[in-house]
Amino acid sequence: MVFFEHHGVEETESFQFFQLVNYNFPLHFHRAYELIIVNEGQLELSIDQKDYVLEQNDLAFIFNNQMHEFRTTGHSNITIVIFTPELIGHFFMNYKGYIPENNVIHLQRASDLDALNSIYRQKSFLYDICSTLVENTSFVAVENSTKTKVLHKILLYVDGHYMHECTLKAVSKHLQYDYPYLSKLFVQMTHMTFTEYLNHYRISQACYLLKNSQQTIGEIAINCGYNNLRSFNRNFKKITNHSPKQYRELQ
């Protein structure tokens, strides 16, 4: 799991990819462009409250600041590609302020991303994807609604405070919005409560630490905002269907 919210903020050319198996990730957004490629299985994807079901060799092209989340149904093997808009500057400038009506295209063949060992090969690959997208869908202007901006601010607050006490009342005080308004807005735009989202976000961070650090389960629980190990274990099991120990041992 990568901390998606920070990708692309450096405004320099950056390209990276990684593979995930049977993975879920909660609602988030970032400045970088993102490609989600299904290698095997099936993936449920939501982009700006529009739902897609991706099959093998389907590719979702997620534009910067589009709200998205995904979850595995049964089994999935996917590749995530994260890259800054500057890497495809011509496309970025031409479609800045627009989003695709349909974010999903189908690849005729699987892509060998390991062969993209130079910036020129990376740009060639990405511009080919851009060309296919333009040929297969139309584009609409981004709606810069106040609600979307407020939701972005809430999610950014969670990103910066999830490891400590983090409540919607604290968010409302920080953003200077009424608590009832934020509570209603959050459910309306994410289809989950703030507490549900916070727990999913914290457990996602815990999944990353379990696979990529030597921290004990107790240390991970604390670093992800849980002062009570029993509460951490209960939420982890509920969201992943595994105990933290079982998850760490999974290949």
Q: What is the pLDDT of residues 52-63, one digit of tens each?
A: 999 999 999 999
Is 139's pLDDT higher than 60?
yes
Q: Give 175-203 pLDDT, tens digit per residue.
A: 999 999 999 999 988 878 999 999 988 99
C-alpha–C-alpha distance, residues 213 and 216, integer Å: 9
Q: How confident is the model at residue 156 (pLDDT cuts 50, 70, 90)?
A: confident
Secondary-structure percent of the chain, ordered helix, strand, coil, rounded to 5: 45, 25, 30
Instruction: Provide mean pLDDT across the span 130-149.
Output: 86
Domain with CATH 2.60.120.810 in the chain: 4-141
CATH superfamily, with its number, for domain 146-249 = Homeodomain-like (1.10.10.60)
Mean per-residue pLDDT over the chain, rounded: 89
| Tokens matching residue 148 | 């979307």
Closest CA to 33 of 79, 65, 78: 65
The count of other CB atoms within 10 Å of the CB of residue 36 is: 25
- CATH architecture label of 4-141: Sandwich (2.60)
C-alpha–C-alpha distance, residues 82 and 102, integer Å: 19
pLDDT score at 11:
47
The count of other CB atoms within 10 Å of the CB of residue 32 is: 26
Domain with CATH 1.10.10.60 in the chain: 146-249
Q: How confident is the model at residue 10 (pLDDT cuts 50, 70, 90)?
A: very low
**Partners of 60 in the beta sheet?**
36, 104
Q: How many percent of the chain have pLDDT more than 90?
A: 63
Q: Which helix (H) or strand (E) holds 203?
A: helix 194-212
Q: Give 197-243 pLDDT, tens digit per residue.
A: 999 889 988 988 898 899 999 999 999 999 999 999 999 999 889 99
